[in-house]
Amino acid sequence: MASPQDVINMVKENDVKFVDFRFTDTRGKEQHVTVPVSAFDEDKFENGHAFDGSSIAGWKGIQASDMQLMPDASTAYIDPFFDETTLVLTCDVVDPTDGRGYDRDPRSIAKRAEAYLKSSGIGDMAYFGPEPEFFIFDSVEWSVDMSGCNLKIYSQEAAWTSGEKSDSGGGSGHRPTVKGGYFPVPPVDSLHDIRSAMVLTLESIGVPVEVHHHEVATAGQCEIGTLFSTLVKRADWTQILKYVVHNVAHQYGKTATFMPKPIVGDNGSGMHVHQSIWKDGKNLFAGNGYAGLSEMALFYIGGIIKHAKALNAITNPGTNSYKRLVPHFEAPVKLAYSAKNRSASIRIPHVASDKARRIETRFPDPIANPYLCFTALLMAGLDGIQNKLHPGDAADKNLYDLPPEEDAKIPTVCASLEQALDALDKDRDFLTRGGVFSNEWIDAYLELKMDEVNKVRMTTHPVEFDLYYSC
C-alpha cells in the first residue's frame, strides 16, 4: 500500500503541477478541489484540506460547515484527461470537531461497514464485484420549463434511425435492433474502439479490467467488466470507472450516461453486484448446499430478500430507477434466488472453484452511490446471517412466465422511489448497527430524495398530454 512518501515521490517523478482532492457526495457524484503542487506536501495527509461542507446537498448546514478532506495515499493516480499533469487523491471527509469520519460521508460509512464486519466476528473481508451498464449516445437534448418539456436522444446506432439520413446523405444500415445488441461484431457494434480506449485508460491508472462488450439494448448500451475487490476499494474503482467512461466518451465527441432507463422500449441499465464474505483467507460462501453455497451464504441471501424494499432506496435511488424495475418486462423484480434463472433478483453464478463462489444481486442500478450501495447490501446480508434468515427454496422456474396464483406468492422489489423511501424509513435498524449508518443520515437522505420525488411528481409529462389532452 502506498505511503504519503510514495505519493511525494510520485509527484516528483511525474513533474506533477496540481493535486486534485476528490470525494463523493450523497447522490454518488464525485466532487473535487485542486491545489497547485507548491501548496501540497506530506502535511496534507496529517492535517487534511479544509472545505465548506454546507454547499454539498444533504450535508452540513451553514451554521456548521467546516469540514476536512483527508487524502488516502493508496488511491493516488495521474489524471489521464487534464492538460496539466495532475495527481488525484480520493479523500475521506472528516468532521474537525471530533476528528472522525463525517457521518454523512459515503466513503466513511463504507469504512465503518468494513470495521463492523470484522468486529462482528463473522468475517474479516467482504468482496464486491459490480457490473455497471451504460449508454453511449451521439448527443442528447432536454428542457423543462413552464412552457413544457421535451427530450431527444441522437444515436446513429439506434434502431429508430434506420429511416434517417446521416451527414453523408444516408445511413450505413448496420445497427443493433431493439434487444439486438448482445453482442454482434462491428459495424453493428459501432463502439468497440471507444470501449477499448476506456479499458486502456482504466488499466493505465490501476483499475484491472476483465472484459468489455456491447450490451442488449440498441443505441449504444455497453458494459466494461472490472475486477472484484474489497468494499471500499471496489467503490473507489467504480467511481473511477464512471469518470473514465464519461470523459473518454466526451473526448470522442459523444456522451455517456449511467441512467437506468434513458430510452423507452428496450433494456435498461443495471448494476449487478457480486458479493462474498471471507475469513482467514477462506471463502465463507462456499459449502455443500444449493449451487455449492454454504448455509451462511443462504442466510445472507435471506437478509437481502427481507430488507430488499428498504435497500431499494439506496440501490435504486432515482425516480428513473423504477422505469427499469417493471414486472413482466425481463427486469429482476422478483425477490427470489436461483442458480439458473436470470429472472430472479439474486443469482448464483456457475463457477469452477469454491474461491469464486458468490451471490449476485441483480436489482441495483448504476446511479447508486457505490459506497452506500455495497454497504447497505452487506448490512442486510449480515443481519440475515446474525438472525439465521433462511430464504426458502430456490426458484428454478422462469419467473417471468408463472401462473397468476404462483406469481402472486413471490414478493417483489419496490415499484417507485417513494415506496422505497417509505420502506427505508420503517426498516432502518439493520443499517444503524455498529454505528455504520446514523439515523440522522437516514433522515437527511429521505429528505434529499423526497425532493426528487416531488420534482418529478409536479412536472407535467408529455405522456399525460397523449392520455388526457382530448378528454
The domain locations on the chain are 4-102, 125-137+225-235+248-469
Reported as a single tens digit per residue, the pLDDT across 191-215 is 999 999 999 999 999 999 999 999 9
Is the pLDDT at 360 greater than 90? The verdict is yes
What CATH number was assigned to the domain covering residues 4-102? Answer: 3.10.20.70
Q: Pick the catalytic residue from 100, 192, 342, 433.
A: 342
Active site residue 452: no
115: which DSSP letter?
H
Q: Pick the catalytic residue from 360, 365, 383, 418.
A: 360
Q: What is the pLDDT of residue 61?
A: 65
Q: Pick the catalytic residue from 195, 234, 246, 272.
A: 272
Average pLDDT of the chain, as a whole number: 93
Active site residue 141: no
Active site residue 328: no
What residue numbers does the annotated binding site for ATP cover? 210, 274-276, 342, 355
Q: What is the Cα–Cα distance from 226 to 221, expressed in whole angstroms?
A: 17
8 A C-beta contact, residue 178 and residue 266: yes
Active site residue 440: no
Residue 367's nearest CA partner among 320, 302, 419 is: 320
Superfamily of domain 125-137+225-235+248-469 in the CATH hierarchy:
Glutamine synthetase/guanido kinase, catalytic domain (3.30.590.10)
Where residue 171 falls among pLDDT bands split at 50, 70, 90?
low
Active site residue 131: yes
What residue numbers does the annotated binding site cover? 131, 133, 210, 215, 223, 267-268, 272, 274-276, 324, 330, 342, 355, 360, 362
Where residue 397 falls among pLDDT bands split at 50, 70, 90?
confident
Mean pLDDT of 127-138: 98
Reported as a single tens digit per residue, the pLDDT across 97-117 is 888 999 999 999 999 999 999
State the sign of the Cα–Cα–Cα–Cα dihedral 249, 254, 259, 263: negative
What residue numbers does the annotated binding site for Mg(2+) cover? 131, 133, 215, 223, 272, 360
- Higher-pLDDT residue of 266 and 169 is 266
Residue 254's nearest CA partner among 197, 317, 213, 294 is: 197
Active site residue 360: yes
Cα Rg of the chain (Å, integer): 23
Q: What is the pLDDT of residue 342?
A: 72
Q: Pick the catalytic residue from 357, 362, 365, 383.
A: 362
Mean pLDDT of 402-409: 79
Q: Pick the catalytic residue from 95, 103, 131, 189.
A: 131
Is the pLDDT at 169 greater than 50? The verdict is no
3-state secondary structure (DSSP) of residue 38: helix
Active site residue 27: no
Reported as a single tens digit per residue, the pLDDT across 135-163 is 999 999 999 999 989 999 999 999 998 76
3-state secondary structure (DSSP) of residue 362: coil
Where residue 55 falls among pLDDT bands split at 50, 70, 90?
confident
Where residue 166 falls among pLDDT bands split at 50, 70, 90?
low
User: 51-55, 63-67, 300-304: lowest mean pLDDT where?
Assistant: 63-67
Residue 205's nearest CA partner among 235, 152, 181, 241 is: 241
Q: Pick the catalytic residue from 52, 193, 429, 443.
A: 52
Q: Pick the catalytic residue from 114, 133, 266, 365.
A: 133
What residue numbers does the annotated binding site for L-glutamate cover? 267-268, 324, 330, 342, 362
Give the predicted TM-score (pTM) of the model. Answer: 0.96
Mean pLDDT of 301-326: 97
Reported as a single tens digit per residue, the pLDDT across 431-464 is 999 999 999 999 999 999 999 999 999 999 999 9
User: 131-140, 160-169, 332-341, 382-391: lowest mean pLDDT where?
Assistant: 160-169
